[in-house]
Structure 1
Amino acid sequence: MLGKESKMEEAEVMKALEFYHNVGEILHFSSIPELKDTVILNVEWLLNLFKILITKSSKHTKYLGTKIKLRCLIDELHHEGKLHEELVDYILEHNKRKEDKTTLLKMMEMYDIICEISPNPQGKRMFYLPSLIQKDEQGENSIIFPANSSVHCHLYIHFVGNFLPEGLFYRLLVRCLKRWPESIAVIRKHKARLYFPKEEFYITMCKEDADIQLKILSIPAGDQHSPPPQSRHVSNVRKLIEEELRVVVKTYTPNLVYYASIKCQCRHHKVGELLPLAEDTDDTCVPLSEDKSSVICPRSRMPMKDQKLGMWYWTEDKHAEARHQEASTQGSKREGIDPLNQLFFTLNENLTDDAKCQMIDLLLGQQISIHDAATLKTKDKTANDVFWNLKRT
């Protein structure tokens, strides 16, 4: 309207809108069909629109009266993170902002706050809005991790400085739900489980303090045993999650630093204490090596391996290498083991003291050289015992 009054051509108006949008004076998204005719001159207007749904939804319960269905919709939003269009209509109409529904929903979708699930038979839409989940009851964990499920591998994405904003986790979850619209999701506060029907496996994403924990689950149907998922499917899922995480961090919190890691089981960690040579605090997360096959604990300086990491970082090259190693060992007599890796594979397991002693006796008969044993010298009493016993032999 102002452009026409100033006798500006449409192209000139669009250039002016783009300029003022880029410098932050207005909001105008010409590339989005639902928003191309909307120009937001006052950001506070948009914030107030968001507040109607995000901060006032729980307050609308007292206005519902005998409308049991709407009460159930609010409970579903706060318990499972599912937002029904019918509830949006009611809340906006009650606040005399119903004409702004398209703008509200599209802006929330654009900023990775919501994503559409699917239309129901009545034509009304439904969305995931996980950031509004309020209940975190004690039994919620069993919903995400059923008792009959099997965990095949776990991976942690650790954020340096032990700082992971809650909003970033939910934005990542929303982007993953957009990425896999065919997946079946179960969402609770700080946790979610996604089922991939084609690949027939589940992945869980949980926020644990400053870490995002990823796990692969198999849940048997009835009494049938569910086979573990194929490594290439797991690796593809991990790549896409990391890809979405890069986008979320770059867009909303570009100064955050994170890395893939596993939880160390050695006894040298003091949770909350500053890590040596790092601007980070210890939560037992240890970064993976460059080849993603092992880690070296910064506390004990011990190397350790997690054989299940190969499922997350599966490649054709590693698959071919594994086949070659398997073929080369078939029919051949075992002539020894890698003493360093094997020893710490054993000592890092959750063994009793008696079991550790038995394992040490076993390893002493496997041709571990004194040179190899000398590299194991550590503050750990059990490892020192192995070293001095070897030296005397």
Structure 2
Amino acid sequence: MATAQIFPFEIPRNEKENYFRMHLLLEHATDVLRDVLRTQLKAAYPGLFDPSKTDKLFDVLDNLQVKHTLLLLKNRKVRNSSQMKLLYPSGTPSTTVTTQDLDITLAVVLLRNITNLNPHAKWENPPASDTSIEANIGRVKTYRNQLSHGQRLGITDTAFQAEFNALKQVLLSLSPIYTSDDYDKLLIVPLDAKDFRAKFDRLCASGAVPVYRQRVAIVGPYGVGKTHLVKRLLQEEYDEETDAYTPGVKIYRHRCIVHKDGRSCWVRGKDDPEDHLVQHMVIGIQNPDAFRRVDQVDEEPPVKSRKVEKVIYSNTRESETAETASFKIFHPDLVQKIKSVARGEPVDPEKQITIWDFGGQDVYYTTHQTFLSEQNIYLLVFRLDVNLDTKIPVYRGEKTVKEFIVYWLNSIHMHTVRKSKEKKSVIPHVLIIGTHKDKLASEVAADEILGQLLDYLEDKQELAEHVYRCFAISNLADVEEFDEIKSEIEHLCGYSRDREAGRQMHPVRWFQLELDLAKKSEERPIIYIKELRDMARLVGIRDAELDEMFIPYHHHLGDVLHFKVDGLENIVILDPQWLADLFSAIMTPPVSKSGKDRLDYLKRSLEKGELNEEVFDVYLQKEKMTDMKNEVIQLMEHFDLMLDISKSVQNPMLPSGKRKFVVPCMLKSNDLVKYRPPEKAREISLFISFPHGFFPPGLFHRLIIRLLRKYKPYHCVNGIPDVGFDHASFRLEDKTSVLHLFTAEKDIELVITNAAGPPKPHVYFNTRQTVENELSYLQKTYCPRMHFGHYIRVNHGKIPIEAETVLEKDVICVCVENAEVPIDLRPYRVWFSGEEAVKKAPLVARMRLSESNSVNHEQGRTEEKEKGLPHNQSLETASAQTSSTY
């Protein structure tokens, strides 16, 4: 591709040949290690392995001790899954695998762990005086790693002579299968030009370089100084006019440079020529057309479309001159740095930090959830000079400072993936930062406020575990005030000099595709996955590697976005800032209601949960992207942020040719009295509750959208479903029953009414299943940590129940206000069974035990024990328990 011409130099041919001949020597080294393994296995397993009879490893692999050892290695990640499948396909020893099927890595693993060699010897970096078999095997592996996974793609004559002779002597000491003359022939064997070029290109594409990248998300309520904090961390000027308000999300890309003395600085990376080149420096030292030829030498067939290929080559030639000319502006030190990498000399890799500054207005929160990731490090910001119990006005009502902090901790916890068992600490990490310290009387006052906040979080253990550290700062302080925060971020990223946690090895070909996608994003912020696959194949990346490794890695970082949701799997967003700006422009209420701005005028109906198609027309025309309107609308529908009325079950005939959308997350006022069902119907209502005490409002709005695709709304106003911010009603399958949904902070209440008479049992059962199926889908897609259970109302509280208990038991007893209360479960069976319920007894679910029944206290205690509910359990304690999870 064109980027291969960026650098005005090329590796000399003799250095390329040296590099290739060392690979030929390593092929011989693989044979040597296989021979050593055969010798060692024969000695360790007499009767089980005899290479003079068979080279198959079945009998050795079937040995119980060997299987146990290799399984432990897999659990410790010494062996990977592909190696496991080679040795133990389907979990049983392979009947066909031989030593000839083993590469250097796997041969060394077996030599070290299942033979008589000392596994604790100096296998890595042995001293020159150590000439043991273990040390020499380790040297072979080191040579192989340096050549195959290193950064160099050429070897000077002096270095080649020394390395070739050193490795040759090691191989001669390990096995006699090759003589010194056999190895020396590799120095003069002719290299066919075509074969050499093809193999060299493949080696280039398979090389790997170290990468350090991390995303930092800054969240919190509005007006607390989040953007000011970002500017201070980056040592940039803060503008009171332009920076005071953050619409949606603002993304900053920076490089973190750690100096030898431990100091660091963060330098803006976007559009920085040096950053652009250093990040892709390995690419430029290859043949000018190396990556164009990868698809011709790889095992996967190249892109078949001649038309596509012609366009790519044409674009390459047109852009080469400009890029080569622009190289003149770069400093000679940079050129020398790139040449150093080419020769295998150590150069510190770049370390990237991307900061996402989330707008604090709560109207953005539903769209923010799209960008939350377990890979982030979070900075949760609040004001120290505002009392933790002070209520802050928001789009809908008000929240206290503490409630805002808990809301964000809940969002981070619920919208990110649960940590694996191997990890010792909860991820993602959160740094809580209190600003405006200068407004307080003393440093002691700041410490007291942070202490009060941590005390408040004590009974919210799963949320508190995310908190890594707290800071008290003033955004007006000297730069040293922010160095400690930066150091903590670098430590968590693995960027500090004493940690390597953030280091990953990436194939060289990934850098080429990243650069191609960066250029593509300047033309179009969205592309289809087919086009991305075509681009990937041209640089040697197969579909499986793209889908399972490249895309997920960059999605977690936020460099590109790819959501495997309904039809979104066919779309890749190359510019996340574009998506954030789109959400901000379309899904937020008008700045002014004067009507002077056309876009604001069209968005006036958002407070009623309505959105007109003309909003997209005006915005996309301003952005010169009118051709992408259908993709944009599809994108927002697939996020379940809105619904085209014509796609709902209601499907009314609208008077205008333009589409209308319902947007529940933007509703501001509600009229619950208007649609509240009679209390009689609520006697057997079912609660779907969330034991962590948090159900994201955005998830309820997405649930409404999904249910509107299945049920007709109970009411419509001018063809628009009449739903509320925290409630919705739907007509059910029998056309006479109505489902009412109400949500509070912790649960959803399901109530079914029917003006013609009691609803049939199957209506309850089918409705519950439909709602829970949609919730389970949303949980998997947006809130992986969320799980829910069933509750029923008792007096003024709720208790958990399980489906099995409701179906198997008629009555359970709970203790309320020091008195035992029998709960008749039979009326609730309709929610869990589609069959006709057994003849119901009179409803006594909310009756207290009469004095005459007190003589049966001991008997009730026994029954209580049998039903699994502890005696004297309070209603509040019962409500805190979870009955079932999904």
Normalised by the shorter chain, which TM-score bucket?
Answer: 0.5 to 0.7
Equivalent residue for 2:739, pick from 186, 200, 203: 203
Q: Distance in 2 between matches of 1:298 and 1:85?
A: 56
Are 1:174 and 2:705 an aligned pair? yes
Question: Contact (CA 8 Å) 1:34, 1:102: kept in 2 or not?
Answer: no
Structure-2 residue corresponding to 1:311: 830
Q: Distance in 1 between matches of 2:822 and 2:803?
A: 10
Distance 1:314 1:34, change over 3 A: closer
**Can you give the 5+ residue segments of structure 1 that lack an aligned partner in the other structure?**
221-225, 267-282, 327-336, 381-393
Find the residue that maps to 2:709 and give its secondary structure. Answer: helix
Find the residue that maps to 1:157 and give its secondary structure. Answer: strand
Distance 1:228 1:100, change over 3 A: same
Distance 1:297 1:111, change over 3 A: farther
Question: Residue type matched to 1:115 in 2?
Answer: L
Structure-2 residue corresponding to 1:349: 846
Equivalent residue for 1:372, pick from 840, 849, 859: 859
Deviation at 1:287, TM superposition (A): 3.0
Are 1:62 and 2:584 an aligned pair? no
- Could you report, residue by residue, the CA deviation over 1:277-301 in whole angstroms, capped at 9, with x for unpaired residues? xxxxxx6342335243466648778
Deviation at 1:125, TM superposition (A): 1.5
Are 1:101 and 2:629 an aligned pair? yes
Structure-2 residue corresponding to 1:279: none
Distance 1:210 1:31, change over 3 A: closer
Are 1:287 and 2:787 an aligned pair? no
Deviation at 1:97, TM superposition (A): 5.1
Structure-2 residue corresponding to 1:40: 573
- Could you report, residue by residue, the CA deviation over 1:93-115 in whole angstroms, capped at 9, with x for unpaired residues? 45665444323211111111112
Question: Residue type matched to 2:830 in 1?
Answer: M
Q: Distance in 1 between matches of 2:847 and 2:590?
A: 46
Question: Contact (CA 8 Å) 1:183, 1:196: kept in 2 or not?
Answer: no
- Could you report, residue by residue, the CA deviation over 1:245-304 in whole angstroms, capped at 9, with x for unpaired residues? 1111111111122101112227xxxxxxxxxxxxxxxx6342335243466648778652
Structure-2 residue corresponding to 1:13: 535
Q: Distance in 1 between matches of 2:698 and 2:741?
A: 14
Distance 1:163 1:49, change over 3 A: same
Deviation at 1:305, TM superposition (A): 2.4
TM-score when normalising by structure 1: 0.65
Distance 1:217 1:182, change over 3 A: closer
Deviation at 1:310, TM superposition (A): 2.1
Structure-2 residue corresponding to 1:231: 761
- Superposed, which structure 2 residues align to 1:57-206 within 5 Å? 57-59=589-591, 61-64=593-596, 74-79=603-608, 81-93=609-621, 98-118=626-646, 120-136=654-670, 140-145=671-676, 151=682, 153-180=684-711, 185-196=721-732, 198-206=734-742
Question: Contact (CA 8 Å) 1:152, 1:308: kept in 2 or not?
Answer: no
Structure-2 residue corresponding to 1:386: none
Structure-2 residue corresponding to 1:276: none
Range 158-167 or range 192-201, more displaced: 192-201
Distance 1:245 1:370, change over 3 A: closer
Equivalent residue for 2:785, pick from 235, 255, 259: 255
Q: Distance in 2 between matches of 1:149 and 1:74?
A: 40
Find the residue that maps to 2:591 and give its secondary structure. Answer: helix
Question: Residue type matched to 2:798 in 1?
Answer: T
Distance 1:376 1:97, change over 3 A: same
Q: Distance in 2 between matches of 1:259 and 1:374?
A: 26
Question: Residue type matched to 1:44 in 2?
Answer: Q
Q: Distance in 2 between matches of 1:192 and 1:28?
A: 31
Question: Contact (CA 8 Å) 2:712, 2:730: kept in 1 or not?
Answer: no
Find the residue that maps to 2:806 and give its secondary structure. Answer: coil
> Would you say how many aligned residue pairs link Structure 1 and Structure 2?
317
- Could you report, residue by residue, the CA deviation over 1:43-95 in whole angstroms, capped at 9, with x for unpaired residues? 1111111111113x322533447x8x985x6454312x222223433454456
Q: Distance in 1 between matches of 2:861 and 2:766?
A: 41
Question: Contact (CA 8 Å) 1:231, 1:311: kept in 2 or not?
Answer: yes
Find the residue that maps to 2:636 and give its secondary structure. Answer: helix
Structure-1 residue corresponding to 2:429: none
Structure-2 residue corresponding to 1:245: 775
Question: Residue type matched to 1:349 in 2?
Answer: R
User: Percent of aligned positions with the same letter in both sequences?
Assistant: 22
Question: Residue type matched to 1:43 in 2?
Answer: P
Q: Distance in 2 between matches of 1:123 and 1:186?
A: 21
Find the residue that maps to 1:292 and give its secondary structure. Answer: helix
Q: Distance in 2 between matches of 1:306 and 1:30?
A: 41
Range 207-216 or range 294-303, more displaced: 294-303
Find the residue that maps to 2:833 and give its secondary structure. Answer: coil
Deviation at 1:203, TM superposition (A): 0.7
Q: Distance in 1 between matches of 2:564 and 2:697?
A: 30
- Could you report, residue by residue, the CA deviation over 1:13-47 in whole angstroms, capped at 9, with x for unpaired residues? 376685443332434689988995x6532211111
Question: Contact (CA 8 Å) 1:286, 1:298: kept in 2 or not?
Answer: no
Find the residue that maps to 1:187 and give its secondary structure. Answer: coil
Question: Contact (CA 8 Å) 2:565, 2:781: kept in 1 or not?
Answer: no
Question: Residue type matched to 2:828 in 1?
Answer: L
Structure-2 residue corresponding to 1:275: none
Deviation at 1:160, TM superposition (A): 1.1
Q: Distance in 1 between matches of 2:564 and 2:795?
A: 53
Question: Residue type matched to 1:13 in 2?
Answer: M
Q: Distance in 2 between matches of 1:214 and 1:31?
A: 27
Structure-1 residue corresponding to 2:457: none
Distance 1:149 1:106, change over 3 A: farther
Question: Residue type matched to 1:235 in 2?
Answer: F
Deviation at 1:156, TM superposition (A): 0.5
Structure-2 residue corresponding to 1:280: none
Question: Contact (CA 8 Å) 2:742, 2:749: kept in 1 or not?
Answer: yes
Q: Distance in 2 between matches of 1:39 and 1:303?
A: 56
Distance 1:175 1:158, change over 3 A: same
TM-score when normalising by structure 2: 0.31
Question: Contact (CA 8 Å) 1:158, 1:285: kept in 2 or not?
Answer: no
Q: Distance in 2 between matches of 1:306 and 1:186?
A: 34
Question: Residue type matched to 2:802 in 1?
Answer: L
Q: Distance in 2 between matches of 1:86 and 1:298?
A: 58
Distance 1:13 1:91, change over 3 A: closer
Structure-2 residue corresponding to 1:334: none
Deviation at 1:240, TM superposition (A): 0.8
Distance 1:157 1:62, change over 3 A: same
Range 141-150 or range 244-253, more displaced: 141-150
Question: Contact (CA 8 Å) 1:131, 1:170: kept in 2 or not?
Answer: yes
